[in-house]
Amino acid sequence: MTLPIDTGPTTRDALLTCEQMAACDRFTIDNGTTGFTLMLRAGQGAARHIRRAFRPGRVLVACGPGNNGGDGFVIARDLREHGWDVTVALLGAVSSLKGDAAEAAAHWDGPMAALSAELVGSADILVDALFGAGLTRPVEGAAAELLARAAGRAASGRLKVAAVDVPSGVHGDTGQVLGTACPADLTVTFHCRKPGHLLQPGAELCGGVRVVDIGIDPAAPAMASPAARVIAPALWQDRLLPAGPADHKYTRGHVLVLGGAMPGAARLAARSARRMGAGLVTVCTPEEAVPLVAGDAPGLIVQDIPYDLGAFVSARKVAAIVVGPGLGTGAYAWRLVEAALACTLPIVLDADVFSLFAGRRLPDGGPAVLTPHGGEFGRLFPKIDVRESGRVAAVSRAAEQCGHTVLLKGPDSTVAAPDGRCALLDGAPATLATGGTGDVLAGAVAALLGRGLPPFEAACAGAWFHREAARRLGGTALLAEDLADAL
């Protein structure tokens, strides 16, 4: 009993919630494809990836009581038909299975045992088909014991793990762990990834993620408005135009960086903006820091803070502003932020701005991109609990609340716009966790704003280029100065 798999192109950049994916399943079934057909395609596609990823060995397929377990039975049958040594461990009784899962189990005629942690001890490969992405309560009992035992064996290199949909215990919408979860070497999901495949800690627990096309009807309404997108060039490439013969430094965007108490941060933002393609970069900084910043690069324009910032940006044809990196939190900083916002130009707000306006609404200004890390986000939006609601919901709520694009930095950087669009960055390297890299990001986003990208697209592009520069530098350590140059 085999059906074709990978029946069409998957939607690579769409991220669906568990509810949206269930709606896609229902729509496809209502339009003539049986649920069991979808299950066969899912299980056979997952088995193919398992066969590609691992050498044959003793396989334990841990099946739960729902459709994830049904996928597991299909995987077990496929692997056994290819000559692999497979045992199914079932949580609960076969007689308790219903619908498509019961039909899948009826086609399994190989070894089967009640789920027990001891079974992991004799396995070379665990196929985790216990619970899917929509799990709503913590894993407990025999399932938790098996996953804990498997995690210990996997950590010692004695067990390979393949997860079906997500590692059991990981919530597909938030990436949070409910109770316990066993890290996977390979996770195979279906039709589209979910936010939890990219959000920590789920992203780290998933290992390598593969997507199987199971033939979801492309007209499914959920596909028209996915919960989020993966940050990728398709989001902005039609808007980011290459230099043309009629361009000059002002058409390429004049970026103004406003410095403060720590001039090194402004220097990094300016360096980044220049490497990102800004036509001109000016740093305005307190008078005592002018010689230090001016010595950084001969192509910078450096001067002290103008008395009338609005007149200055108009006369100098400034296209975008960066304020916050190294700014400080005194009265000077407060006045400068207010003056910058009053210019109503595209602006990047970073770092000390979030301490200045902790728990308060920002003054009105031009279109803005806010680039907080987790602690700064908490200060600016104290009533939004990221862990409780998940990053997608939290950042989307923050963007709606403040009326600007918000880029919450981290290994799973999340960008949301006030109009409801959201995008997630896939896998920023740990080398970015060092001082100054946030200043580099702020400068990169400002350059993109100055080149004409709207705030959401500029934030997404800045995050992507920032990650790619870090990846291509490689190594185990990274300097912010090198990151800026790698742009």
Q: Which residues define the annotated binding site?
A: 67-71, 128, 132-138, 165, 168, 265, 326, 373, 409-413, 438-439
* Residues tagged in the binding site annotation for K(+): 68, 128, 168
Beta pairing, strands 228-230 & 14-15: antiparallel
**Contact partners, residue 283, CB within 8 Å, separation at least 6:** 256, 257, 259, 266, 267, 270, 293, 300, 301, 302, 303
The C-alpha angle with vertex 351 and arms to 321 and 476, in degrees rounded to 5, equals 110
Rounded Cα distance between 341 and 448, Å, is 18
* Residues tagged in the binding site annotation for (6S)-NADPHX: 67-71, 132-138, 165, 265, 326, 373, 439
Beta pairing, strands 280-285 & 254-258: parallel
Rounded Cα distance between 252 and 274, Å, is 11
Q: What is the three-class DSSP state of 36?
A: helix
Residue in the structure block whose two tokens are 């902005």: 236
* Residues tagged in the binding site annotation for AMP: 409-413, 438
Q: What is the DSSP string of 263-321?
A: HHHHHHHHHHHHHTT-SEEEEEE-GGGHHHHHTT-TT-EEEEPPS-HHHHHHHTT--EE
Closest CA relative to residue 160, chosen from 44, 45, 50, 86? 50
Rounded Cα distance between 99 and 14, Å, is 29
Alpha-helical (H) ranges within 121-176 are 141-155
Rounded Cα distance between 419 and 327, Å, is 30
Residue in the structure block whose two tokens are 């975008």: 320
